[in-house]
Amino acid sequence: MLKGKGKFNVYGSKAIISIPSTVWKDSQYPFKRGEEVEIEIDKDELKIRKIERRKKIEGRVLLVVDDEPEVQELVKAYLSPLNIEVYSAYDGEEGVKLYKELMEKGKKPDLVVMDLNLSGSRRNEDMIKQMMGEEMDGVRTTEEIMKIDPSAKVIGFTAYADLEWAEGLKMSGAREVLGRGVGFDGFAKRVGEILV
């Protein structure tokens, strides 16, 4: 425990502590530059605890089922700091086939990211066919993956998260559905939390 008085300033979500060097000199907390700490102030006493940095998530496998090549590339770019293997499928049939192949190779996906509209089209009539179950959408793809592997972890990442269609994705086995409004930063953060 570090005892002493110092100056404490909060700037947005960050806190900066300025403590006289005599306090630090007697401290049993020799911090290195850039380390993260948790700080508790109890009356005139400062309690500081080091926060262990999380290791990069290595050796994890992610399958992204999305018909848009641009989205596939953005997902890979935003997840690259996690050092995980990312596989891409551009429609439902390919997603189911790739999931099976990865399992057979001993690379069962730790997470599947599923879009709802897998038609390759933005035309309303094509999306309606998928919503009505006439074509293989994210809901049916999730159902097929869950038949292969009932323990599969699936999350939705789609522009249609606010529609009733997204509820179908949850009912078919997806753990949650993220709207594209969270942005790719928010998406990458959530994937990191799930895979830890």
Asked if residue 155 lies in contact with residue 193, where contact means CB atoms within 8 angstroms, the answer is no
* Single-letter amino acid code for the residue at 71: V
**Beta strand 36-42 with 45-51: parallel, antiparallel or unpaired?**
antiparallel
Mean pLDDT for the chain overall: 80
The confidence band for 153, taking pLDDT boundaries of 50, 70 and 90, is very high
The closest alpha carbon to 159, from 173, 178, 175, 134, belongs to 178
Find the mean pLDDT for residues 26-37. 55
Asked if residue 105 lies in contact with residue 63, where contact means CB atoms within 8 angstroms, the answer is no
Q: Is the pLDDT of residue 165 over 90?
A: no
Q: Looking at residue 59, what is its pLDDT?
A: 82
d(CA 93, CA 118): 10
What is the SS3 assignment for 95?
helix
Asked if residue 157 lies in contact with residue 63, where contact means CB atoms within 8 angstroms, the answer is no
The closest alpha carbon to 173, from 147, 196, 137, belongs to 147
Q: Looking at residue 159, what is its pLDDT?
A: 86
* CATH 3.40.50.2300 placement within the chain: 61-195
d(CA 130, CA 170): 16
Q: Looking at residue 113, what is its pLDDT?
A: 97
The closest alpha carbon to 107, from 174, 59, 155, belongs to 59
What tokens appear for 169 in the block? 């994705």
Could you please state the CATH topology (level 3) that the domain comprising 61-195 is classified under: Rossmann fold (3.40.50)
Structure letter (DSSP) for residue 168:
H
Q: What is the pLDDT of residues 53-101, one digit of tens each?
A: 545 566 899 999 999 999 999 999 999 888 899 999 999 999 999 999 9
